[in-house]
Amino acid sequence: MTVFLNGAFVAPEDAKISVFDRGFIFGDGVYELIPVYAGKPFRLDQHLQRMENGLAEIRIGNPYPRDEWRRLIGQLLERHQGQQLSLYVQVTRGVAPRDHVFPVPAPTPTVLMTVSPLPQPSKAACEQGIKAVTQADYRWGRCDIKSISLLANVLLRQHAADVGAAETILIRDGLLTEGSTSTVFIVKHGVIAVPPLSHMMLPGITYDVLLELAQRHGAPVAVRPISEAELHAADEIWIASSSKEVLAVVELDGKPVGDGRVGPVQREMFAWYQAFKNDLIAS
């Protein structure tokens, strides 16, 4: 493995970050996790745009222009072999004395990129679906920023693991927001529904892909608030993310979703997504 850190490609054991880095002290930074298929980053421009938006929101200067990001990512990927990889990009505010106030002058941001094998949903998860549980969404009020401060997400995801489920689906003020690590879609009477983007949700790359695929194939979609009651009464529930792609939830809080099997609309979307991904690999 080769790591990119602050302008240099180094071995992992040589990648050193100061204990005074604000990413370590405060979780002061943003990140992206980008699937890579056959050496091609999936929707790279959209991932970079989301990271640029996050940097602007927390007032960290973007370390590189878009073309330089592409060049450095390409150089890092050239050093790694594998058909399906996971590219992790993280930018923190940098090294400064510990103080909650932004340091003046602004320090040089710390830039880290790593590559690892891309986690893939198991065949059983794809074909038979997964279990999920619900929990109150107690994360902070700017979930639209892909912050490296992920303790709430970690605790919520661990809650699912503790009870043998694959994901925790979050409810805030009686409404569905998202999963601890995913976007959540439902289907009722053949109509796909998903909550509208807000400060309470990450603007997911896969969220956009699934909406585009539904429009392309003429599947009915409603982007609207979804109540907790609607979630529990859904014919189908899906979770979606860059690493999970699109998976059916067949059991929620110990009760079957619909007939307790992967639904027909999810099977169509899964096939559309695989074709979309394969077209990218072949291009």
* CA distance readout (Å), 234 to 172, 196, 229, 237, 249: 18, 18, 9, 7, 11
* pLDDT the model gives residue 82: 79
The per-residue pLDDT for range 203-244, each reduced to its tens digit, is: 999 999 999 999 999 999 999 999 999 999 999 999 999 999
What tokens does 56 get?
Answer: 């602007």
Structural domain count, the chain: 2
Q: Which CATH number does the domain housing residue 44 bear? A: 3.30.470.10
The one catalytic residue among 146, 188, 244, 277 = 146
- In this prediction, residue 282 has a pLDDT band, given cuts at 50, 70 and 90, of confident
* pLDDT the model gives residue 240: 98
- In this prediction, residue 255 has a pLDDT band, given cuts at 50, 70 and 90, of very high
130 and 215 share a domain? yes
Mean local confidence (pLDDT), 77-100? 95
CB-side neighbour CA atoms (13 Å) of 107: 23
Tokens 């505010």 map to which residue?
A: 93
Residue 83 has pLDDT above 90, yes or no: no
190 and 248 share a domain? yes
C-alpha–C-alpha distance, residues 194 and 211, integer Å: 9
105 and 150 share a domain? no
* pLDDT the model gives residue 283: 80
pTM given for the model: 0.95
* pLDDT the model gives residue 216: 97
What tokens does 245 get?
Answer: 């792609």
Look up 146 and say whether it is catalytic.
yes
C-alpha–C-alpha distance, residues 23 and 57, integer Å: 16
Q: Which CATH number does the domain housing residue 272 bear? A: 3.20.10.10
86 and 144 share a domain? no
129 and 251 share a domain? yes
Q: Average pLDDT over the chain, rounded to whole?
A: 97
Q: 4-8, 83-87, 266-270: which has the minimum mean pLDDT?
A: 83-87
Q: Choose the final residue of a domain: 59, 85, 117.
A: 117
165 and 107 share a domain? no
Q: Choose the final residue of a domain: 117, 143, 178.
A: 117
Tokens 């390409």 map to which residue?
A: 74
